[in-house]
Amino acid sequence: MKQTDQGYIIDGITIAPGVVETIISLAAAEVPGVAGVGSADTISSIFAAFNAGKAVPTNGINVQIAEDETVTIDIDIRASYGNRLVDIADAVRNAIADALSGQIGVEVAEVNVHIDALSFEE
């Protein structure tokens, strides 16, 4: 995977950055215990975004590509109170790596999960 001004190039196909970030956001949001994706000051729930018909939140997601074409992901999430945070972070790492590998065929070197806030909603 290489990055250009137009997006990410993978096996001769250009994929817009928003597409990659959406895959990451959806994978993280499906993990039990994740209440939202994005930085704490602008975070929104993935379910609220779907219900409102808006785009999937992709703020708080950073993709970096190494020279060996592996990717490192930094993602900010909000966790549901009462869940073990270490388990949520591990599940988010695995979900993102699986989604990127399965959907666009890239190797994920690292996923750094930043838990910026807790949700006390049920």
pLDDT tens track of the chain, all 122 residues? 888 888 888 888 889 888 999 999 999 999 999 999 987 654 444 444 444 455 566 688 999 998 888 999 999 999 999 999 999 999 999 999 999 999 999 999 999 999 999 998 75
Beta-carbon count within 10 A of 15 CB = 17
Spatial contact of 98 and 60, defined as CB atoms under 8 Å apart = no
Beta-carbon count within 10 A of 2 CB = 11
pTM for this entry: 0.83
Structure tokens at 33: 């215990």
What is residue 34's three-state secondary structure? strand
